[in-house]
Amino acid sequence: MNSPSSEQTSLLAGIHGSEDVQRLAPEQLPLLAAEIRRVLVETLARTGGHLAPNLGVVELTIALHRVFSTPRDKILFDVSHQCYVHKLLTGRAPRFGTIRQFGGISGFAKRSESQHDVYGAGHAGTALPAGLGIAAARDLNGEDYNIVSVVGDGAFTCGTTLEGLNNIATTTKKFILILNDNEWSIDRNVGALPRYFAHLQQTEAFEWLRASAKKIMEVLAGKRAQEQVARLAHAASACITPLSFFQELGLTYYGPVDGHDMVRLEKLFRIVSRRQGPCIIHVITEKGRGYEPASSNPPKFHGVGAYNIADGATGPSAGITYSEAFGRMLTTMAAEDPRITAITAAMPGGTKLDLFREHFPKRFYDVGIAEEFAAVFACGQATQGLKPYLAVYSTFMQRCVDMIQHDAALQNLPVRFCMDRAGLSPDDGPTHHGLFDIAMLRCIPNLVMMQPKDEAELCRMLVTMNSIDDRPSAIRYPRGCGEGTPLPNPAEPLPVGKAELLHPGSDVALVALGNMNSVAAKVRTVLEDEGISCAHINARFIKPLDVDMLMQQAVGCRLIVTLEDHVVSAGFGSAVLEALTARGVSTPVLILGWPDEFIEHGSLDKLREKHRLTPPAVCAAVRQALSPKKL
């Protein structure tokens, strides 16, 4: 089903943009909100997606489109995992059933998808600085449209957001920042800023002060009197409320306001749309509102797979995930080594460091959406003899490249960088694929980098990392379940830089990295049935490479084939080719991985089929490379 039934879309079917939302009568808005929630719950039960964030912004998004007209006015969503409602109100309701499906609409804002998506996203910390850039362009061009950046309170811990706050008043005189305060990013928000926002929710003093100042202004006449009252209000508010933070940044503060009160939101948006001067509107929303399983368990339904609508059940797991194996093993290691600490950036549940936190809360650190800080924070711990493990998704670890190079590797600090969701992150698409980490990190001196073939080897690699005390190390592992191999107890360390020969062969050497070993095993079976002798090597280490193993295989074989869940440009295969070329080896190398482009969203099977990374496609590529024309 690609769209809701006609009976369920009596309002949505007639909405193709802001103007249609604006034509609705006020009494129709609650019906529209209920219909949108029904569509969200029913559609995502089949497709999966970011349910809880979108249920929380239904009224907020409707109110935005009641006042602002996209694409002329610009609405930017930070991260943009909460833009499903915006998509439904801007002509994409008929295709909403395809969200996150191969060939369907994206689960994030995407400029190429719609003119209503002014800025694509997928990572936190973009909506405010990008919105300011648009504002600067608008001002230079002499135009007069509105720009609204919707930023969650979790993303306010982002360095780029804080840098944007510092620049608003000096960049433009017309800008609207909405603080969507729901106490959650993926997990519950941490740190001083969320506590600060919670304090703002509890004070009515500033509202009283603003109203009193307005009454005085109505009585007193003259510019000087107005200036005096304004100064009085500013000084008094700084004394009795915590709002001076925003005031000193040059922002007029409005709120807190109920983010589910469409009448009040619409009135407030109309006021700020006509005024000059940058402002911040503090909106209080409930993540998962309207669907009890999501409102009672926001982390689970932040990003969820298919589920049962009646109770929110997602079905039994197919097995232990790499993340669970990581969390369990690190917890086991920490019980024996008191120097081990665990650090994450707002995702203890996603990385399964919540298992570690349960046992060692004093050695666990969630720093919020602040990956760069987390990396340098870990470096600081390492200087004092601790063994910090920083666990972040690969797509977010990209933000730490500077710190890995400048702070960890340059100083030989033994920080352990653990990259979850490395490789394809199928349904989330290009903003979340972890397809670039090898290229970004393997050029850094002093760094050890590895990837396991299964969850048991992941445990052995963690033990290996724990023994590396003279330099940083990194491990990448994929999303989802492992190969079903039992976790070792105890887990023995691996010799650093040594690959594993899984099967000997003489014609072709299949050098596979990580989860591509399962593909290599199937390829070897097919080709050997055709009379092609294939060696199968589990690479294990990206850096340092096992050059001795590569040289042994290159001496007698006709073709070396590398397989990796990473882009082919500057990846593992490139490292193999560089190593062999440097030693004068002329054996052809066939590098197989993801192409040099951004990979769309879709299921793993469909994407591997399209980009020829299935066992049959790899077999065909090997046969072609072995043909006389290729030799």
287 carries an active-site annotation: yes
Q: Do residues 50 and 97 make contact, with C-beta atoms less than 8 angstroms apart?
A: no
Q: Do residues 186 and 346 make contact, with C-beta atoms less than 8 angstroms apart?
A: yes
Catalytic annotation, pick one of 183, 286, 371, 455 = 371
HSE-CB of 458 using CA atoms within 13 angstroms: 30
Tokens of 562: 């590398």
Catalytic annotation, pick one of 138, 399, 460, 608 = 399
399 carries an active-site annotation: yes
For residue 178, the SS3 value is strand
Q: d(Cα 284, Cα 509) in Å, to the nearest integer?
A: 59
Catalytic annotation, pick one of 287, 363, 416, 476 = 287
Buried b (16+ CB within 10 A) or exposed e, 96-118: bbbbbbbebbbbbbbeebbebbb
Tokens of 631: 């030799």
Q: d(Cα 439, Cα 567) in Å, to the nearest integer?
A: 8
Q: d(Cα 247, Cα 224) in Å, to the nearest integer?
A: 21
72 carries an active-site annotation: no
Buried b (16+ CB within 10 A) or exposed e, 483-516: bebebeeebeebebbebbebbebebbbbbbbbbb
Q: d(Cα 492, Cα 486) in Å, to the nearest integer?
A: 14
HSE-CB of 448 using CA atoms within 13 angstroms: 24
Beta strands in 527-587 (DSSP E): 534-538, 541-543, 559-567
- Long-range contact list for 195-203, CB < 8 A, 24+ apart? 196/242, 196/245, 197/153, 197/156, 197/282, 199/242, 200/241, 200/242, 200/243, 200/255, 200/256, 200/282, 201/256, 201/282, 201/284, 203/241, 203/242
Catalytic residues: 287, 371, 399
